[in-house]
Amino acid sequence: MDSLFRGQTKEVILARMLSRTNNSVDRSEDSLVYDASSTCAIELAHLYIEAERVYGSSFMSKALGQDLIDLAFDRGVERRLASHSLILMQTFPYTVIIPLGAVFMTGIASFEVINKSDMGEGLYVAQCREAGTLGNIGSGFLNPASHIPDLEWAQILAVLAPAADDEDLESLRIRGMLSFGFQPYSGNNVYFRRVVGDIPEVGAVKVVHVSAGFVDIYILDNALQIPTQPLIDMVQELVDPLPFGTGMGLSGFGYQVTIKEPQVITIDIDTNVRTPLLWTAAERKAVLSKTIAEVLLNYNMGWESRMSLAGELVIESIQSALYVAGFEDVSGTLINGFAVNFIGDPLAILVGGYINAVEIS
């Protein structure tokens, strides 16, 4: 979109103002008319700049910051704020009762016990008190913020529901723009994707119509990984709790909605690389693992938008990523034993398997 007030500078405005004064009036620099008009022209130029900002803020494609958030809100699309992670916590001895609300600390985050887990003895569910990915800690010992009699130690066993940071504004812009093309109403695809996608712990959503009145909804967590069973259960309770189809959750009357995890396909990589001389074996292994993980994450980021279309993992993208990561030569890459691009199922996400990297002599 072109600028509405382009070229409205102080000089242009001043020239226009002076051209409209009587020829008998002194318009030279330092004259009374010139000085008065110049001051006014500066203010008008600033006014045009602000008018341009206000004009641009009325369009979803141009709005910035809070203006974009407000426009999206008017379309029923709210910015996804940072969420709080849930962890599974183990305590010892198992006979010690941890009170709900007890706070445990790590070096960078604090967790509040919110529930006793039914997965085993001495297991508790705790929520990070700080919002965002800071609380996505999958292991490590915890220190109680206040004394708990007879407790010897506590540790994190797993992340049950990863947290996410505040939604990127460009992501919000895309969701806001998409709202103009599809109107949600209780029961349609757009509605289910919106209400489930707005659950803070959910990172991606895919809706599948099974038959009349039956809908399967596949979800990923905020790390775009397979959701844990507690997360699936929580979303199920929010969307369509028992008894199914009664409209007691976010789904409409008559819709039986089942929350599911997507299929997982393991990707094994065989390749030939030439490693920089200064790299250690540990560095080589770490770069390989990190690079392949980033390639697979990039594939999984498109999982939600692919709808019924199959995704493609391209061999050239793997080799290019390894080049960018620092390897001096990459060739002969195989995906699951084949020298062809991998075509994935629309409902599946990819996870890393083994990486066999033969050194090029």
Could you tell me the pLDDT band of residue 153, with boundaries at 50, 70 and 90?
very high
- Among candidate residues 211, 237, 260, the one where a domain is terminated: 260
**What region does 323 belong to: left with phi over 0, alpha with psi -120 to 50, or beta?**
alpha
pLDDT band at 1 (very low <50, low <70, confident <90, very high): very low
- Tens of pLDDT along 299-344? 998 898 887 677 899 999 999 999 999 999 999 999 999 999 999 8
Q: Does 289 lie in the same domain as 242?
A: no
Give the confidence band of 186 by pLDDT, cuts at 50, 70, 90: low
Statement to judge: residues 272 and 348 lie in one domain: yes
Same domain, 274 and 344: yes
Same-domain status, 276 and 322 = yes
Q: Domain check: are 256 and 277 in the same one?
A: no
Among residues 215, 241, 260, which one ends one of the domains?
A: 260
Q: Is residue 79 part of a domain?
A: no
78-123, pLDDT tens digit by residue?
898 899 999 999 999 999 999 999 999 998 999 999 999 888 889 9
| 212-216, 223-227, 313-317 — most confident range | 313-317
- Residue 174 above 50 pLDDT? yes
Identify the domain boundary among 137, 161, 185: 161
Which domain range does residue 346 map to?
Answer: 264-359
Do residues 268 and 349 share a domain?
yes
According to DSSP, residue 98 is labeled P
Residue 183 has pLDDT above 70, yes or no: no
Total count of domains within the chain: 4
Retrieve residue 347's tokens: 């409902």
Domain-embedded: residue 212? yes
Task: Identify the bridge partners of residue 338 per DSSP, sorted by sequence position.
Answer: 335
Q: What is this structure's pTM? A: 0.67
Q: What angle do CA 206, 209, 212 make, to 5 degrees?
A: 155
Q: Which residue has the tokens 């397979």?
A: 226
Asked if the structure places residue 183 within a domain, the reply is no
Tell me if 156 is assigned to some domain: yes
Q: Coil, strand or helix: which one is 214?
A: strand
